[in-house]
Amino acid sequence: MNEVQRAKIIIKVLNKTYPKIPIPLKHKNIFTLLISVLLSAQCTDLNVNNVTKNIYPNYYKPEHFVKLGRRKIEKLIRSIGIFRIKAKSIYNLSKKLIEEYDGKVPKTFEDLEKLPGVGHKTASVVMSQGFGYPAFPVDTHIHRLAQRWGLTNGKNVVETEKDLKRIFPKKYWNKLHLQIIYYGREYCKARECYGITCKICTSCYPKRKKPIKTKKA
């Protein structure tokens, strides 16, 4: 079975399992989506949502966070990992949006990746979930699953993203990356499936008997 055949199986299973898929990070507008994605680094979506539900009713514009200042932002997000670094990024990002983008989130990868604390993955999520632009955000979890499912030999998330974009038609990208995330959390867990128990793994590799070791991103 080649990668194209495996890709067809994966799309079929994911569409059946998750015909409709919600955006996991709660947000009020595209700016708050950007903030939530930034906060989600090294942190669960659930933790981010628990924190931001008390923030976004009152603070949801760059101006709000600039007025708050770094110290108050730190207090608001204290329960999130590396909160001081993230607070600094949020403050500087908000300031830059006001000074250079009229307080609006830019709609290009290039401009998004110029913002403090915003890398390619964060920009991809905003482009995909915020603006509906075809993108395939790849984190370490998708990287691991892509290896298990025989879609990539990539050594890092950049190489894996290129492989997934090559294999899957562009029209599927936005929905597919979310479906993969949800499927990985529910069925193809790092320490439960091991590449030999879930529907996708057993369909793509029916003869696989030993747990597969994946390369870390």
What residues are annotated to the active site?
A: 121, 139
Residue 118: C-alpha distances to residues 97, 103, 114, 132, 178 (Å) = 12, 16, 7, 18, 20
Q: Helices 3-17 and 173-186, interaxial angle, to 10°?
A: 80
Pairwise CA distance, residues 34 & 122, whole Å: 7
Pairwise CA distance, residues 27 & 40, whole Å: 13
